[in-house]
Amino acid sequence: MIRPAAPEAAGEQPLAAYLQARRAEVEDALDRYLPVTPDCPEPLAEAMRYSLLAGGKRLRPVLTLATADAIDPDRGAALAMPAACAIEMIHTYSLVHDDLPAMDDDSLRRGRPTVHVAYGEAMAILAGDGLLTEAFRVLARWPVTDDPAVVDRKLRTVERVAAGAGAGGMVGGQVLDIQPVDAAAARRQPAAARAALRAMHERKTGALIRAAAGAGAIMAGADKATIAAVDAYAAHLGLGFQIVDDILDVEGDTAALGKTAGKDEAAGKVTYPSLVGLEQSRVLAAGAIGDARRALRAGGLKGGRLAAIADWVLARTN
């Protein structure tokens, strides 16, 4: 959409190959972490697999792994893989619940019928519950270790992920999103409306993206200052991601997105394009990605894939 992705450093594989390889590793690991019968009743196991192994960009787990790679290229990704998968399980649960008739009432996700359409509402609620709960089992159990330093990292990761996903993070953001909006008031007070929109997205979308990057940093053994730099990067990245999401809802098509396009306008939602127009939305998205790159430089995190991932988030078409 805006500018080319960052050039690879000499000897590095292209970003697309890196993303593809990391996604494949995540999908293998997700498959291993998912509960199976007879412990898990068959219909629940099936609905959880249906939602979790249905593709998706895998932005959050790849971000966890790329952050860990940037900090400890040798061991970081292996240490962070369980957290990466747990975050994707939480993200997927949020999509399953968001699609329910009581929330967004959508019938298409990741290019196929939503879980409640395929398995019924009760099973969709329970599949989401199962994914959320199993995510915390994965965080607590893996990597299996007696090393007190790694045990400490796991505990800090659990706290950070719970904060990103919970009442002060994604769940709280969803609550703000379902409050009725006064579109006329938003038009009268555009600055206040924009601040409210940003605050909602910081929680609903941004908090889990921050937790994804933060988990990678913590599991790879980053110091406090580096964790803070990663957090600043991810906060800007989350905002950029969301603005692009709003733009794609207007400009994208349902087949490419794998979810229903044009829903925001149909639902009368306040979005970046509805508040500031498409052109200014693009400027804001590029600004957020520029801020993300600056946060990396300020934190001395120049190596690795994080800058290129920021460019990819801006350029994405689905």
Binding site for ligand GRG (CB under 6 A): 56-57, 59, 94-95, 97-98, 110, 170-171, 174, 204-205, 242, 245
At its nearest, how many Å lie between ligand GRG and the CB of residue 258?
7
Q: Which CB, 174 or 281, lies closer to ligand GRG?
A: 174
- Measured between its terminal Cα atoms, the distance across the chain in Å is 12
Q: Which CB, 170 or 296, lies closer to ligand GRG?
A: 170
Q: Which CB, 170 or 295, lies closer to ligand GRG?
A: 170
* Tokens linked to 251: 């400009």
At its nearest, how many Å lie between ligand GRG and the CB of residue 171?
5
Q: Which CB, 114 or 226, lies closer to ligand GRG?
A: 114
At its nearest, how many Å lie between ligand GRG and the CB of residue 177?
7
At its nearest, how many Å lie between ligand GRG and the CB of residue 92?
7
CB neighbour class for 215 (10 Å; exposed up to 12, middle 13-18, buried from 19)? buried
Task: Report the residue number whose CB is nearest to ligand GRG.
Answer: 56
Residues 6+ apart with CB under 8 A from 195: none
* CA separation for the pair 101, 107 (Å, rounded): 9
At its nearest, how many Å lie between ligand GRG and the CB of residue 252?
11
Q: Which CB, 25 or 72, lies closer to ligand GRG?
A: 25
Residues 6+ apart with CB under 8 A from 97: 103, 124, 125, 128
Q: Which CB, 59 or 115, lies closer to ligand GRG?
A: 59
Q: What DSSP string runs through 245-280?
A: HHHHHHHS-HHHHTS-TTHHHHTT---HHHHHHHHH
CA torsion sign for 182, 184, 187, 191 is: negative
* Tokens linked to 84: 């990466």
At its nearest, how many Å lie between ligand GRG and the CB of residue 201?
8
